[in-house]
Amino acid sequence: MPLDVIMPALGMAQDSGVILAWHKSPGDPVAEGDALFEVETDKAAMEVEAQGSGFLTDVMAKAGDEVPVGQVLARISDTPEDTGTKTEASPDASGEADTQADQAMPEGEPVIMPALGMAQDAGQIVAWRKSPGDAVTASDVLFEVETDKSIMEVEAGHDGFVAALLAEAGEEAPVGDVIAIISSEKPEAPIQRSLKDRGTATPAEAAPAREPAPAKESPSKTSESRPTKQAVPAMGGRILASPKARRLALERGLDLTRLADHGYPQPYHVKDLEVLERLPTEAAPQLSTAAPARYLSAHVETNGFDDFAAWAASEAGLPDAGSLLAAFAGSSLERAHVTVALEAFGKTRMFAVHGRWLSDVAEADPEARPDLRLRDLRFGRLIEVQAGPEDTPVLSVMASGAGLKLTLECAAEQLDASAAITLLSNFAGRMEQPLRHLL
């Protein structure tokens, strides 16, 4: 059964992407986890991995094309021949079921399931905050979505009325799938459906049953199916790998540097983990998941940050509250140079903090490796976060009455006890009395 390859949503505000290059040609064999193509958004260029195995067929877009999010780009089929079902070949000959669905669907702006992380391929709708027919503004929270990391609120993104809700609470929708429609005029008959009503299978239902993959004879045999490209040397000892491969390696306690030590070319993808697991296990160090975790929390009685951010915008010409928040967190680490990844509203921004002054913070390369991850959860409903250590220390900020609750999670090898206490104490002080940051 062919598997559609769609243009993914790599950011909350992304509605299209430009294909930079295909790593596979029509008819080439494809393994799950292979780098299939590169896409460029307004933030960065990213590699997109294949979500199944087979052959690349029915390629409907070429390098340089700008394609809307959710549109089918190609298919992964059981045979190398095209299936003959390219949508662009017969624009006026759609099936009766599709025609009936289009006729019943109201006009308006589509709302898609966003990607809240690079490793996310689906999200579960926890609750709809608006009902069919309700008026909404672009900043209204439309629904809550749960990923493998947390629960996030997602804004409507458009002014108008809820003309259609196309998935129910509790259903899991693929990233890029249209789950609601916002119309400019109040709908006479708003629609509420489930994914099954639309014939859209959830990710678990969409995956066809496959025979177990044949056993591979050796690690070198596995690597033959990788995209043909030159080995990329590590820069300064850094290992180049897709975010999904890094996450799975961390979960399984695998060290990606062992692939480099054995001469396997970078960057690494999910399928390379099979090679890594087959390497000799002697002297294989465990990653931070085996180290004891540190979890610290602090309560700030009075939230002084909001008033400070308002003052900075009106009097100091610094309207970017996210930049101020990153500056507070980076300076609290007490290092000369700190890269902070700020996560808020499902978006991630990178900041370079070079000192304690407000002018010593600037936007950083989106591909930079952060020293500290800061999650701004002040406008959500979470009151407690304990997700476990990640590849960098994680600071979380949540609302708590008139004040704030701050948490710090990290592995013991990332920060010793003294450094962890200092980081959280410094950050709590700045959030309660921001003028401390200027002294």
| Residue 199 pLDDT | 53
What is the topology classification, in CATH, of domain 94-213? OB fold (Dihydrolipoamide Acetyltransferase, E2P) (2.40.50)
Please state the rounded mean pLDDT for residues 285-302.
72
Q: Give 382-406 pLDDT, tens digit per residue.
A: 888 887 778 899 999 999 988 999 9
pLDDT of residue 67: 84
Residues 275-299: what's their mean pLDDT? Answer: 69
Query: Looking at the predicted structure, is the pLDDT value of residue 224 above 60?
Result: no
Query: Under DSSP, is residue 327 helix (H, G, I), strand (E, B) or coil?
Result: helix
Residues 11-54 pLDDT 10s: 555 677 888 888 999 999 998 888 888 887 665 667 888 878 89
Residues in the chain: 439
Residue 436 has pLDDT above 80, yes or no: no
What is the reported pLDDT for 135?
94
- Position 312 scores a pLDDT of 87
Res. 213: pLDDT tops 80: no
d(CA 359, CA 47): 34
Q: What pLDDT is stored for residue 120 in this prediction? A: 60
Q: Which CATH number fits domain 1-91: 2.40.50.100, 2.60.40.10, 3.40.50.300, 2.130.10.10?
A: 2.40.50.100
* Cα–Cα–Cα angle for 121, 125, 129, rounded to 5 degrees: 140
Amino acid 317: pLDDT = 86
Mean pLDDT of 322-331: 91
Q: What pLDDT score was predicted for residue 428?
A: 92
Does the pLDDT at position 221 exceed 50? Answer: no
- Residue 351 has what pLDDT? 93
Position 7 scores a pLDDT of 80
Q: Give me 36's structure tokens.
A: 């299939």
Most confident range, picked from 72-76, 88-92, 182-186, 240-244? 182-186
- Here the tokens at position 146 are 């749960």
Kindly state the average pLDDT of the residues 200-229: 38
CATH 3.30.559.10 location in the chain: 293-438
Delimit the CATH 2.40.50.100 region(s) of the chain: 1-91, 94-213
Q: How far apart are CA 305 and CA 325, in angstroms?
A: 8
Residue 436, SS3 per DSSP: helix
* pLDDT exceeds 50 at position 292: yes
Mean pLDDT of 300-312: 90
**How does residue 374 score in pLDDT terms, banded at 50, 70 and 90?**
very high
pLDDT(439) > 80:
no
Contact 130, 140 (CB under 8 A): yes
Residues 6+ apart with CB under 8 A from 62: 19, 22
Q: What is the pLDDT of residue 298?
A: 93
Mean pLDDT for all residues in the chain: 78
Q: Per-residue pLDDT for 1 more than 80? A: no
Mean pLDDT of 299-316: 90
What's the CATH number of domain 293-438, 3.40.50.720, 3.30.559.10, 3.60.150.10, 3.40.50.10680? Answer: 3.30.559.10
Task: Provide CB contacts within 8 A for 140, sequence distance 6+.
Answer: 129, 130, 155, 156
Note the Cα 357 to chain centre separation in Å: 31
**DSSP string covering 183-233:** ESS--SS-EE--TTTTT---HHHHS---PPPPPPS-HHHHHTTS---PPBP
Q: What is the pLDDT of residues 249-282, one digit of tens each?
A: 887 888 888 888 888 877 677 788 888 888 876 5
Candidate from 17-31, 111-125, 267-281, 297-311 with smallest mean pLDDT: 111-125
The pLDDT of residue 39 is: 82
Paired tokens of 435:
């003028």
> Is residue 362 pLDDT above 80, yes or no?
yes
Tokens of 94: 């759609």
pLDDT recorded at residue 2: 79
Among 65-69, 228-232, 240-244, the minimum mean pLDDT is found in 228-232
**Which of the residue ranges 92-101, 123-132, 263-272, 288-297 would you say has the lowest mean pLDDT?**
92-101
Give the tens place of pLDDT for each residue, 188-210: 889 988 887 765 433 333 333 33
> Among 116-125, 270-279, 296-305, which range has the highest average pLDDT?
296-305
Q: Who has greater pLDDT, 100 or 179?
A: 179
Determine the average pLDDT of the residues in 302-327.
90
